[in-house]
């Protein structure tokens, strides 16, 4: 197990270095010109870090959510947080809100995702805590409602900024910038900390509420804490670079195949796996059709889905 | 015999409809109690009230003389464990990982190890198998191993012998009796198999959330009580080696 985790960490570091120094053009780190230094430090480095952070947040929140909702098809976007993020960003832009300059979209997206989290948290609340089934249904309902309002907004508005905001939400690492990283990092660290701290409780939640209670946890309280962790992780990821599909849904299943289902290991492994996949996808997206960049979400799905299907044929990945 | 767990005048309703009213009984130290009744008679509800999962509308559940809700979750889990009837977990945990969860309430693990618990339920050779690949009976034994590892002095087991073939039914009953004798564990087990009920020290026969009979198997397993509890004519035959039923 330790060896597998070390291999994962090492692979993540190697992939990040390759992305930093080799793509799209090879740069020798020991003999960088002024421009090359600028390219590596101001463009490539923040981009690699943002891809790694987003992948980490999505992988970890997928692992938490699938356990918490006891649903192998759950992904971080199923709760409608991303729809809330997009709608908030779009509404802000249409109403001319530019309070935060270049950060307007990320700040609005984060706020929108967290407000949506609050709404569905309240709707999923019953008898002193969150009920997973109610939360899931509330999330799907709110997600559809917000998507419909967004469509309405798009069909009546001619605002160019709105189009940009919506396109950005489909996943764009191109505007990666150092200034966003500390905020994203802070929320992701808090989300990961809560998720890891409650990993034993998450394991017992997967056995059902009654056994979770019997093992000394309060199922409602634990679900609420884990939901806060998922909301922070997803909102941070969406605000850093929009929505990137596949990672949150399938990385936890792939990691389960490698290291097992114990959340104490699965959460960090999914975080590492997610970050590695997004960094590689961004690297490939920048390299293959230069100067055109392929959005990372397309590459994550094109790389990950066939591999997942291969695993599914080889082995009982979903555990059913 | 001192009381370790007690229902005191407990009433409980599901969505406004009264299901249990003024129910009282207690479980003694190291007692082996069977909770017998037909499907829907309230056995599972009573076990969930005893375990603190369900909160009574009225009355109190006392654990070692204190109301169960006054315990911290972890402290309660060290004293009492509950195994539900439906074990529909679909996550591919390995047997070892599942059983190890029995140690979650502890900062310092108790004497029993995962290996001991797995061996006690006859799954020593399946420690590394995925729980999702086990048969229904093996899966149930894996959960029983987890409950054993939890090391609580009171076990509340909801139909733990369901899906087990006769060999494992006998083995689990033997194991539970040994635990009771060696470790002074109190066991309350819900069941609907009347022949198994003869194995218990004390029986509580329930129907629609109320007690029809409470006492030794000889006192409770009477044809009139059983007929009322199961709504069908049942004959009890007592022979030198024990007793059995026919219908």
* Cα dihedral value A261, A267, A270, A276, nearest 10: -150
- Confidence check: pLDDT of A196 > 80: yes
Q: Which residues in chain B come in under a pLDDT of 50?
A: none
What local confidence, expressed as pLDDT, does residue A316 receive?
53
What is the distance between the alpha carbons of residues B138 and A291, in angstroms, rounded to a whole number? 58
CA distance B133 to chain A (A): 8
CA angle B234, B240, B241 (to 5 degrees): 85
Contacts of A169 (CB under 8 A, 6+ apart): A82, A85, A86, A89, A109, A238, A242, A243
| Closest alpha carbon within chain A to B151 | A215
Q: Is A215 on the interface with B (CB under 8 A)?
A: yes
Q: What is the ipTM score, two decimals?
A: 0.92
Q: Which residue has the higher pLDDT, A215 or A306?
A: A215
What local confidence, expressed as pLDDT, does residue B23 receive?
93
Contacts A68 to B, Cβ<8 Å: none
Nearest CB to B105; choose among A215, A218, A260: A215
What local confidence, expressed as pLDDT, does residue A320 receive?
44
For A33-52, what is the HEC assignment? CHHHHHHHHHHHHHHHHHHH
Mean pLDDT of A76-101: 80
Mean pLDDT of A289-312: 80
What local confidence, expressed as pLDDT, does residue B104 receive?
94
Rounded to two decimals, the pTM is: 0.88
For the stretch A20-62, pLDDT in tens is 887 677 788 787 788 888 888 888 888 899 999 999 999 999 9
Q: Is A203 on the interface with B (CB under 8 A)?
A: yes
Strands B32-36 and B202-207, how do they pair? parallel
Nearest CB to B91; choose among A206, A213, A215: A206
Q: Which residue has the higher pLDDT, A137 or B244?
A: A137
CA angle A308, A311, A313 (to 5 degrees): 115
A contact test, residue of B92, B99, B105, B160 with most A CBs within 10 A: B92
- Confidence check: pLDDT of A319 > 60: no
What local confidence, expressed as pLDDT, does residue B158 receive?
94
Nearest CB to B84; choose among A70, A211, A318: A211
- Confidence check: pLDDT of A317 > 60: no
What local confidence, expressed as pLDDT, does residue B101 receive?
96
Q: What percent of chain A lies above the pLDDT cut of 90?
A: 34
Find the radius of gyration of the CA atoms of chain B.
18
Where are chain B's structural domains? 3-246
Structure tokens at B22: 């003024």
Distance of CA B206 to the CA centre of its chain: 15
Which residues partner with B34 through β-bridges?
Answer: B189, B203
What local confidence, expressed as pLDDT, does residue A314 receive?
66
| Superfamily per CATH, domain B3-246 | P-loop containing nucleotide triphosphate hydrolases (3.40.50.300)
| Closest alpha carbon within chain A to B80 | A214
Other CB atoms within 10 Å distance of the CB of residue A298: 17
B90–A70 C-beta distance less than 8 A: yes
For the stretch A217-269, pLDDT in tens is 999 899 999 999 999 999 888 888 888 888 898 899 989 988 999 999 999 99
> What CATH number does the domain located at A45-314 have?
1.10.3470.10
């Amino acid at each position: 197990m330790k060896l597998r985790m070390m291999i994962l960490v090492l692979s993540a570091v190697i992939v990040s270095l390759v992305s930093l120094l080799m793509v799209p053009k090879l740069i020798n780190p020991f003999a960088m010109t002024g421009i090359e230094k600028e390219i590596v430090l101001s463009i490539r480095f923040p981009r690699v870090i943002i891809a790694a952070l987003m992948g980490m947040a999505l992988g970890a929140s997928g692992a938490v959510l699938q356990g918490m909702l006891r649903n192998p098809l759950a992904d971080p976007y199923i709760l409608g947080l991303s729809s809330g993020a997009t709608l908030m960003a779009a509404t802000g832009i249409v109403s001319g809100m530019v309070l935060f300059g270049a950060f307007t979209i990320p700040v609005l997206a984060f706020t929108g995702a967290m407000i949506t989290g609050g709404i569905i948290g309240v709707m999923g609340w019953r008898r002193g805590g969150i009920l997973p089934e109610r939360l899931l249904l509330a999330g799907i309902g709110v997600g559809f409602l917000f998507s419909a309002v967004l469509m309405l907004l798009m069909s009546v508005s001619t605002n160019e900024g709105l189009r940009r905001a919506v396109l950005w939400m489909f996943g764009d690492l191109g505007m990666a910038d150092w200034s966003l990283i500390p905020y994203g990092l802070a929320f992701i660290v808090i989300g990961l900390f809560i998720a890891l701290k409650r990993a034993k409780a998450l394991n017992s939640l997967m056995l059902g509420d009654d056994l979770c209670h019997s093992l000394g946890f309060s199922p409602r309280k634990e679900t609420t804490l884990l939901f806060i962790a998922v909301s922070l992780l997803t909102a941070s990821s969406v605000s850093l670079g929009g929505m990137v599909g596949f990672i949150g849904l399938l990385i936890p299943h792939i990691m389960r195949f490698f290291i097992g289902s114990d959340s104490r290991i699965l959460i960090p492994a999914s975080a590492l796996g997610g970050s590695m996949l997004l960094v590689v996808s961004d690297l490939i997206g920048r390299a293959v059709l230069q100067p055109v960049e392929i959005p990372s979400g397309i590459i994550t799905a094109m790389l990950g889905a066939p591999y997942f299907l291969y695993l599914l044929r080889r082995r009982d990945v979903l555990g059913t | 015999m001192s009381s370790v767990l007690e229902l005191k005048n407990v009433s409980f309703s599901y969505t406004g409809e009264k299901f249990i009213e003024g129910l009282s009984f207690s479980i003694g130290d190291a007692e082996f109690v069977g909770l017998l009744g037909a499907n829907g008679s309230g056995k599972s509800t009573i076990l969930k009230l005893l375990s603190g999962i369900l909160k009574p509308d009225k009355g109190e559940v006392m654990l070692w003389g204190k109301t169960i809700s006054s315990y911290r979750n972890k402290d309660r889990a060290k004293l009492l464990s509950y195994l539900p009837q439906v074990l529909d977990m679909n996550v591919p945990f390995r047997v070892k990982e599942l059983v190890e969860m029995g140690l979650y309430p502890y900062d310092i693990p108790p004497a029993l190890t995962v290996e001991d618990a797995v061996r006690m339920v006859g799954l020593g050779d399946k420690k590394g198998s995925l729980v999702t690949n086990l048969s229904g009976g093996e899966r149930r034994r894996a959960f029983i191993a987890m409950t054993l590892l939890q090391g609580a002095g009171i076990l509340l087991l909801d139909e733990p012998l369901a899906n087990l073939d006769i060999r494992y039914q006998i083995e689990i009953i033997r194991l539970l009796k040994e635990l009771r004798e060696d470790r002074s564990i109190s066991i309350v087990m819900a069941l609907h198999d009347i022949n198994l009920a003869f194995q218990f020290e004390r029986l509580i026969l329930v129907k629609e959330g109320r007690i029809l009979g409470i006492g030794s198997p000889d006192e409770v397993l009477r044809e009139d009580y059983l007929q009322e509890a199961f709504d069908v004519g049942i004959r009890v035959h007592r022979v030198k080696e024990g007793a059995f039923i026919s219908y």
